[in-house]
Structure 1
Amino acid sequence: MKTRTETDTIGPIEVPADRFWGAQTQRSLENFKIGTEKMPIAVVRAFAELKKATAIANGQLKDMDARKVTAITYAADQVIAGKLDDHFPLVVWQTGSGTQSNMNMNEVLAYIANDYLDEQGHEDVRVHPNDDVNASQSSNDTFPTAMHIATVVYAEHDLLPALQQFEATLAKKEADFKDVVKIGRTHLQDATPLTFGQELSGFRHMLATCTKMVRESLHYVRALTIGGTAVGTGLNAPIGFGAAVCEQLSKQTGVTFQPSENYFHGLTSHDELTHFHGALKALAADVFKIANDIRLLASGPRCGIGEVTIPANEPGSSIMPGKVNPTQSEALTMVAAQVLGNDATIGFAASQGHFQLNVFKPVIIYNVLQSMRLLADGLNNFHDKCLIGLEADEEKMNQYLGDSLMLVTALNPHIGYENAAHIAKKAHAEKTTLKAAAIASGLLTEEQFDQYVVPKNMIASK
């Protein structure tokens, strides 16, 4: 492998000749050979957006050479466009401040910027990773800023659209099945009836509520720590730098950001992301419930509940011919399990802010982004491969409705709870219908039973 020699404050080190990073990135590669989890590309793109915005702000507030600003902006745009992904190889398990990922970005942008300057005939102008790309900044304020940028952008562009699509399809199914009466179930036992549309309305409202919670909690993540530099004092950054960067970032991304109200908080606390992930945890709990309910309602096809049918996407067994499994429910519930585990990691990591810095930043953002990605992908996949094709088996629903003993609840106002319980127990013990047991008890006539026990009259409160 051909190499070139790069130098940092530690000394010289060999770097692959075809890679655009410098000495500090290479040292990180050699010093942190832990796992296979790479710094998420969403963080890389967020960093590039940030470095572009800081270069422009430095040009405005610090009189940075306009040629350097243009060159850094050009280089950042290449990263944002996804043209340089291979030049960001670092793992999550590095320094807890994310310093090496910050320097990886600084080095790559400086390399590309200097090539650009050469092409423009400005060989006399050089962009330095620290002095120029990192001007007015510290890893301590850039990494948490990139964390927030990546989170807000991904949530708005991917997660929220997935939630909205899922909710819209549930609303359509709710309308389609608004008049299909079926038996309810509580404690896994028969309960009073409802419509299938009402059951689906509960799912829809879960998604609507989670969408609201995600949006509300995202508000806090829009606050950026850029401008606090090393410990929150803003040392080496010009006055108004944070506000200028936030304004520029909002223009670049189309997403609203504002400066943190307190940089000392922003460097050492990640309560905003912990709070935001709490909304993701709530969403995970709800999608777990939805996927599980659909799996149980579709169980069978002959020896389970079988009230709904779901698409047959692939063979379900390597030994049992014709078997079809609820694989989309299984995948989505595994996603939910992962998100719930991620929340435990994030909560613990966020508690580790010591003095002026939390040094668990990479693992926090890795888990936040993984949760969002899994939920967005999982919801989209379940929507396309299962939810759209979900149908009610009305014949089966009617069968269970007619067999249920809990329709006896409609008799409570007329004959009392204890008498109604006697009828239900009699029907169950003698394996007869409720109607037959009621008539045999002498408490009701056939006409009275037919008048009082009407399932469609039991589905809405008066």
Structure 2
Amino acid sequence: MEFRVESDSIGEKRVPKGVYYGVQTLRGADNFRITGLKLNKEFIKSVVQIKKAAAITNLEIGILEENIGNAIIKACDEIIEGKFKEDFIIDPIQGGAGTSINMNANEVIANRAIELLGKEKGNYQVVHPNDHVNMGQSTNDVIPTAGKITALRLISKNIEKLKELSLAFGKKAAEFKSVIKMGRTQLQDAVPITLGQEFCAYNAVVKRDIARIERVKTELEVVNIGGTAVGTGINADSRYIERIVPRLSFVSGINLKMAEDLIDSTQNLDGFSAVSSAIKTCAVNLSKIANDLRLMSSGPRAGLGEINLPAKQNGSSIMPGKVNPVIPEVINQIAFNIIGNDVTVSMAVEAGQLELNAFEPVIFYNIFESIETLTNGIDTFIKNCVLGITANKEICNEFVNNSVGIVTALCPYIGYTKSARIAKTAIKTGESIKRVLLREGIFKEKEINSIINPLKMTKPGIVGK
């Protein structure tokens, strides 16, 4: 392999001749062999869009030479289109508050711009990664701004999937509106409910999650680009600071706002904590729903068996014919992981000191993973589970008729104490509630059928009527 020699403030280092990254990227790659993973592709895109917006702004105000600025913009466009992705070699988790990520982008853009200007890669007298590509910027405003843009894009996809899930639950709620089943509290028989009402409740919590996630998006739209190192804007032209956010909004296609206090926005990352919390809450809610589906589908003959989940794969390597609730199970596991990620984000947001939080890389690594895994999980939940759920109406009806929970409907007529005695008698003798009432002459059959009407019990009425 042929090499070129590049130098930085640490010293000289041999860089493979054909690559677009440079010495600072290579040091970062050598220092941080942590996850073995690459940077999120949307994150790379966001960083490069910031570089493009900065070049456009610096060209407009006349502090960047036209040929250099145009070459930088062209290089950025190529990267945004998906080229040179193999040259982004930095691990997502790293020290340095994301400096290695920022310099990886600066060097790839600079070397491609040099090439576009007809010179050889590594000739930084033509286009310099710091002086030209990073003009008016710092890692400390580029990386958090890129993190927010990336999170906004990922959240938009997540909300789309949540809306699809809401529609799926709404469809099932309508389909199951007349399926009467036994409601349960603390896993014990309670009172009748319709399967449709249960799915309507699932729809309601998903809609609430959508609204909650939509609200936190507004925090991500406020960025600190222009603040440079500590929020004071050092080394950035005042005209650049005035224009950079509108230019970045245009380049990214996202309506961004500059923070009112750039020092605050550079120091404090509470917006990411809010986002992580909203995603975690959604995951917790979906995991609870998954638990319900696993319980109601348990069996199929020695469990509840009230619903059927679509059979997606063999459930055992030893037990023939066994089918497991694999899609709800993966929703549970996604939730467990997201809960852990949220703890990491909380710790990292808290760990900032003075003018900067150095722990943005691990914040973004976990937030991006949480959003993407939740989005992908919702997609498989809809397609491979929710839309294919069917009801076992006969089993649901049998549970209702054999339950003593329906005795609750008697309380307005004969009181709690007498109703409890009837329930205990039914449990002891194995008789139905209706049979006990008839045998003891408490009500006539017509009255019993009117009072203990499972469908009537699923909605409020006039007490005693």
Common fold, TM-score beyond 0.5?
yes
| Match of residue 226 from structure 2 | 227
Q: Is the 8 A contact 1:423 1:441 kept in 2?
A: no
Question: Structure 2 stretches of 5 or more lacking a match?
Answer: none
| Match of residue 428 from structure 1 | 427
Q: Is the 8 A contact 2:228 2:234 kept in 1?
A: yes
Once residues 244 and 168 of structure 1 are traced to their aligned partners in structure 2, the CA distance between those partners, rounded to angstroms, is 42
2:19 is matched by which residue type in structure 1?
R
Q: Measured at CA, do residues 240 and 278 of structure 1 come closer, stay the same or move farther in structure 2, by a change above 3 Å?
A: farther
How big is each residue's C-alpha offset from its partner over 1:295-338, in whole Å with a ceiling of 9 and x where there is no partner? 11111111111111111111110001111000011111100000
Once residues 436 and 51 of structure 1 are traced to their aligned partners in structure 2, the CA distance between those partners, rounded to angstroms, is 79
Q: Is the 8 A contact 2:141 2:266 kept in 1?
A: yes
Secondary structure of the corresponding residue to residue 190 of structure 1: strand
How big is each residue's C-alpha offset from its partner over 1:226-273, in whole Å with a ceiling of 9 and x where there is no partner? 000111100111225345222122222322111112111121211001
1:459 is matched by which residue type in structure 2?
T
Q: Which portions of structure 1, spanning 4 or more consecutive aligned residues, are displaced by more than 6 angstroms?
A: none
How big is each residue's C-alpha offset from its partner over 1:120-160, in whole Å with a ceiling of 9 and x where there is no partner? xxx9982210011100001111111111111111111x211
| Match of residue 108 from structure 2 | 108
Asked if residue 55 in structure 1 is aligned to residue 55 in structure 2, the reply is yes
Shift of 1:180: 1.6
Asked if residue 291 in structure 1 is aligned to residue 296 in structure 2, the reply is no
Q: Is the 8 A contact 1:96 1:361 kept in 2?
A: no
| Match of residue 161 from structure 1 | 160
| Match of residue 150 from structure 1 | 150
Shift of 1:349: 0.4
| Match of residue 32 from structure 1 | 32
Secondary structure of the corresponding residue to residue 184 of structure 2: strand
Once residues 421 and 196 of structure 2 are traced to their aligned partners in structure 1, the CA distance between those partners, rounded to angstroms, is 32
Asked if residue 263 in structure 1 is aligned to residue 262 in structure 2, the reply is yes
Bigger drift between 414-423 and 67-76 goes to: 67-76
Q: Measured at CA, do residues 243 and 391 of structure 1 come closer, stay the same or move farther in structure 2, by a change above 3 Å?
A: farther
Q: Is the 8 A contact 1:415 1:443 kept in 2?
A: no
Once residues 380 and 303 of structure 2 are traced to their aligned partners in structure 1, the CA distance between those partners, rounded to angstroms, is 25
| Match of residue 368 from structure 1 | 367
Once residues 242 and 269 of structure 2 are traced to their aligned partners in structure 1, the CA distance between those partners, rounded to angstroms, is 20
1:447 is matched by which residue type in structure 2?
K
Shift of 1:403: 1.2
Asked if residue 130 in structure 1 is aligned to residue 158 in structure 2, the reply is no
Once residues 76 and 111 of structure 2 are traced to their aligned partners in structure 1, the CA distance between those partners, rounded to angstroms, is 11
Once residues 445 and 124 of structure 2 are traced to their aligned partners in structure 1, the CA distance between those partners, rounded to angstroms, is 101
How big is each residue's C-alpha offset from its partner over 1:152-202, in whole Å with a ceiling of 9 and x where there is no partner? 11111x211111111111111111111222111110011111111110011
Secondary structure of the corresponding residue to residue 388 of structure 2: coil
Secondary structure of the corresponding residue to residue 357 of structure 1: coil
Residue pairs, 1:79-94, within 5 angstroms: 79-94=79-94
1:154 is matched by which residue type in structure 2?
L
Once residues 430 and 130 of structure 1 are traced to their aligned partners in structure 2, the CA distance between those partners, rounded to angstroms, is 85
1:448 is matched by which residue type in structure 2?
E
Once residues 141 and 334 of structure 2 are traced to their aligned partners in structure 1, the CA distance between those partners, rounded to angstroms, is 32
Bigger drift between 413-422 and 4-13 goes to: 4-13
Q: Is the 8 A contact 2:32 2:93 kept in 1?
A: yes
Secondary structure of the corresponding residue to residue 358 of structure 1: coil
Instruction: Give the root-mean-square deviation of aligned CA atoms.
Output: 1.6
The number of aligned residues is 458
Once residues 449 and 332 of structure 1 are traced to their aligned partners in structure 2, the CA distance between those partners, rounded to angstroms, is 43
Q: Is the 8 A contact 2:5 2:13 kept in 1?
A: yes
In percent, how many aligned pairs have the same letter?
37
Asked if residue 186 in structure 1 is aligned to residue 185 in structure 2, the reply is yes
Secondary structure of the corresponding residue to residue 183 of structure 1: strand
| Match of residue 139 from structure 1 | 139
Secondary structure of the corresponding residue to residue 18 of structure 2: coil
Once residues 72 and 32 of structure 1 are traced to their aligned partners in structure 2, the CA distance between those partners, rounded to angstroms, is 28
Q: Is the 8 A contact 2:93 2:365 kept in 1?
A: no
Secondary structure of the corresponding residue to residue 238 of structure 2: coil
Secondary structure of the corresponding residue to residue 43 of structure 1: helix
1:20 is matched by which residue type in structure 2?
Y
Q: Is the 8 A contact 2:97 2:140 kept in 1?
A: yes
Q: Measured at CA, do residues 242 and 334 of structure 1 come closer, stay the same or move farther in structure 2, by a change above 3 Å?
A: farther
Asked if residue 454 in structure 1 is aligned to residue 453 in structure 2, the reply is yes
Question: Structure 1 stretches of 5 or more lacking a match?
Answer: none
Secondary structure of the corresponding residue to residue 382 of structure 2: helix
Once residues 258 and 403 of structure 1 are traced to their aligned partners in structure 2, the CA distance between those partners, rounded to angstroms, is 61
| Match of residue 18 from structure 1 | 18
Bigger drift between 366-375 and 436-445 goes to: 436-445
Bigger drift between 12-21 and 339-348 goes to: 12-21
Once residues 453 and 33 of structure 1 are traced to their aligned partners in structure 2, the CA distance between those partners, rounded to angstroms, is 67
2:261 is matched by which residue type in structure 1?
N
How big is each residue's C-alpha offset from its partner over 1:400-432, in whole Å with a ceiling of 9 and x where there is no partner? 111111111111111111111111111111111
Q: Is the 8 A contact 1:315 1:323 kept in 2?
A: yes
How big is each residue's C-alpha offset from its partner over 1:78-119, in whole Å with a ceiling of 9 and x where there is no partner? 221222211111112322410011000000000111111229
Once residues 244 and 209 of structure 2 are traced to their aligned partners in structure 1, the CA distance between those partners, rounded to angstroms, is 31
Once residues 124 and 431 of structure 1 are traced to their aligned partners in structure 2, the CA distance between those partners, rounded to angstroms, is 89
Shift of 1:32: 2.1
Q: Measured at CA, do residues 281 and 240 of structure 1 come closer, stay the same or move farther in structure 2, by a change above 3 Å?
A: farther
| Match of residue 399 from structure 1 | 398
| Match of residue 309 from structure 2 | 310
Secondary structure of the corresponding residue to residue 117 of structure 2: helix
